[in-house]
């Protein structure tokens, strides 16, 4: 039973309200002063270490009481019981009284005269909101479940898959705080089914999108890239090499600087989770998605994005800027040079800057240099924190504990943002007439199912994709590309197929298999094919 403490020096006049609440199953403790309210709270909270049967769940507090005023009583209550909801009731609409009450962390305030239904709604909002929200979200999702299932039964194109993923992310966030484990199981099952179908669709079409051979001087990929009508065809999604040309470069023609913020390894659900915080400062102009190439790793996807070319084409056109997996050296050290060449090829000879933030100190210095950056038409800033968090979730037991679920992974992202130089950078940009773009190179997925493979020392180490001379695997368990040129990837050896894990699979070797599986299960990985890795955000924002 919910117990309400109601403190008002005219409590006798409120008997009809109290009866109204009691008829609906609430227990009301009426008192006539602030001192009585404090005494009632102290006695209800504990008696000789034994919980009282009259534990108080919410307090209604009259602001204008003789003796200990409502504001003074509120301060005492919050000092002793900081999490207890307190609703201030006042006759006065003076702003300074409301400000004082709100500053003292009231949960709500009401203006006299109050009616019984208003009181009932307030009680429900502050004592039953979680239960009512859970029930409402469960009911709403169950109504949507059949509709989503029917859509998955059809043949979805790229735009329809984007809408499907957005819908699933919405329900993932909507149901996150739901206490009904059954509804979580239903959602996980439907999301898994969607991921299975997405992977089949992506694998079935990927080679056609990319082109048949990078040896062809006028490759099919370049035809797609240069044909606006083909790009607009919803069956051919906007891929990593196309995204700057299609989404970023049009912004550069506007008479304002553009700031491109690339958050490495950033998923769409993470964007939706931090969006309310970003919208405190900037207005979302377009909430878009594009498709990462595979492998969904920084080496391939981000280089392709900056260069406007597939990896095999980068290797061919700009060998000085490409480092293969079997070569020494940092694999993304030439992003600025690749961006410069991409701008030049597209006739954009403009002033631009490039910055990579690897630590908080550099991020803070960057905030101080915004005025200088305003002289450039394009400023690119790469933030690597989430990618480091993803790797740390594998290597550190503490981080693995903190990021042990999709929900906690999102929460850590928000916590990082709120205390990072990035939010200070966004605040600075919010004061200026600029375009702001938030995007990424790929996402990640929490891996759960091991897939056995064998390989020699030439095989790449990534858990979600493999390339090498001698790989032994079951083709039914993977997406297999025997000729890397068919997906415009460099060919390292005469025989060097690519294999990709789909959904939440990861590759495991027979040696120390059980230990290997235990170590990696439940970690966030990327490189393969899943909705979370492939469909990634491209968000444009402007000043409010």
Convert the pLDDT of each residue in 88-99 to its tens digit: 898 866 666 666
Q: Is the distance from CB of 168 to CB of 210 less than 8 angstroms?
A: no
Sheet holding 498-500, edge to edge: 465-467, 498-500, 479-481
Lowest mean pLDDT among 124-133, 184-193, 356-365, 521-530: 124-133
Q: Which of 61-75, 236-250, 427-441 has the lowest mean pLDDT?
A: 61-75
Name the fold adopted by 3-127. Answer: Rossmann fold (3.40.50)
Helix (H) or strand (E) holding 115: none
pLDDT tens, residue by residue, 181-216:
889 999 999 999 999 999 999 999 999 999 733 333
CA distances from 480 to 41, 435, 472, 486, 496 (A): 67, 41, 12, 11, 11
* Better pLDDT: 173 or 456: 173
> Is 517 exposed, middle or buried (CB count within 10 Å of its CB: 0-12, 13-18, 19+)?
middle
Alpha carbon of residue 445 to chain centroid: 12
Q: What are phi and psi of 24, to 5 degrees?
A: -100, 15
Per-residue confidence (pLDDT) for residue 54, from 0 to 100 = 66
Give the rounded percent of residues in the chain with a pLDDT score beyond 70.
90
Identify whether the C-beta of residue 257 lies closer than 8 Å to the C-beta of residue 381.
Answer: no
Highest mean pLDDT among 108-117, 122-131, 231-240, 424-433 belongs to: 424-433
Looking at per-residue confidence, does 331 or 450 come out higher? 450
* Ranges 342-346, 424-428, 495-499, 500-504: which has the least confidence: 495-499
Domain 244-444+533-543 is found in CATH 3.10.180.10? no
pTM: 0.80
Q: What's the rounded mean pLDDT across residues 294-315? A: 96
In the chain, what are the domain boundaries?
3-127, 131-198, 244-444+533-543, 446-526
486-543: per-residue pLDDT in tens? 999 998 877 788 999 999 999 999 888 998 899 999 999 999 999 999 999 999 999 9
């Amino acid at each position: 039973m919910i117990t309400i403490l109601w403190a008002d020096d005219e409590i006798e006049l409120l008997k009809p309200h109290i009866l109204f609440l009691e008829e609906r199953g609430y227990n009301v403790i009426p008192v006539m002063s602030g001192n009585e309210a404090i005494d009632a709270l102290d006695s209800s909270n504990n008696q000789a270490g034994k919980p009282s049967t009259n534990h108080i769940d919410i307090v209604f507090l009259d602001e204008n009481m003789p003796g200990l005023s409502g504001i003074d009583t509120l301060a005492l209550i919050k000092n002793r019981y900081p999490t207890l909801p307190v609703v201030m009731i006042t006759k006065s609409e003076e702003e300074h009284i409301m400000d004082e009450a709100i500053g003292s962390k009231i949960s709500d305030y009401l203006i006299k005269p109050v009616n019984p239904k208003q009181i009932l709604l307030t009680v429900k909002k502050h004592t039953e909101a979680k239960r009512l929200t859970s029930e409402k979200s469960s009911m709403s999702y169950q109504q949507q479940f059949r509709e989503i299932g029917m859509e998955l039964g059809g043949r979805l194109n790229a735009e329809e898959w984007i809408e499907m993923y957005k819908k699933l992310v919405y329900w993932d966030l909507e149901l996150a705080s739901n206490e009904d484990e059954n509804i979580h199981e239903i959602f996980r099952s439907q999301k898994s089914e969607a991921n299975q179908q997405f992977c089949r669709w992506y694998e079935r079409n990927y080679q056609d999108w990319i082109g048949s051979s990078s040896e062809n001087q006028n490759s099919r990929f370049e035809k797609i890239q240069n044909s606006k009508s083909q790009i607009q065809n919803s069956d051919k999604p906007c891929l990593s090499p196309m995204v700057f040309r299609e989404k970023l470069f049009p912004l550069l023609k506007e008479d304002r600087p553009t700031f491109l913020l690339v958050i490495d390894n950033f998923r769409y659900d993470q964007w939706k989770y931090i969006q309310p915080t970003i919208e405190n400062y900037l207005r979302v102009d377009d909430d878009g998605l594009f498709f990462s190439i595979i492998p969904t790793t920084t080496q391939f996807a981000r280089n392709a994005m900056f260069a406007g070319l597939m990896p095999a084409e980068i290797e061919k056109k700009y060998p000085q800027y490409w480092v293969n997996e079997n070569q020494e050296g940092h694999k993304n050290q030439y992003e600025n040079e690749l961006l410069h060449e991409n701008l030049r090829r597209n006739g954009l000879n403009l002033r631009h800057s490039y910055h990579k933030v690897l630590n908080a100190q550099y991020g803070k210095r960057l905030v101080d240099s915004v005025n200088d950056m305003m002289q450039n038409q394009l400023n690119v800033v790469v933030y690597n924190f989430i990618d480091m968090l993803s790797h740390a979730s594998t290597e550190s037991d503490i981080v693995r504990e903190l990021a042990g679920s999709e929900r906690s992974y999102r929460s850590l992202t928000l916590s990082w943002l709120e205390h990072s130089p990035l939010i200070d950078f966004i605040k600075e940009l919010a004061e200026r007439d600029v375009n702001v773009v938030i995007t990424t190179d790929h996402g990640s997925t929490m891996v759960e199912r091991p897939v056995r493979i064998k390989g020699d020392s030439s095989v790449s180490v990534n858990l979600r994709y493999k390339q090498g001379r001698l790989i032994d695997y079951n083709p039914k368990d993977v997406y297999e590309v025997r000729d890397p040129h068919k997906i415009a990837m460099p060919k390292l050896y005469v025989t060097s197929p690519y294999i990709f894990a789909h959904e939440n699979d990861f590759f495991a070797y027979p040696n120390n298999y059980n230990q290997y599986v235990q170590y990696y299960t439940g970690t966030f990985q990327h490189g393969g094919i899943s909705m979370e890795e492939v469909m990634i955000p491209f968000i444009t924002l402007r000043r409010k």
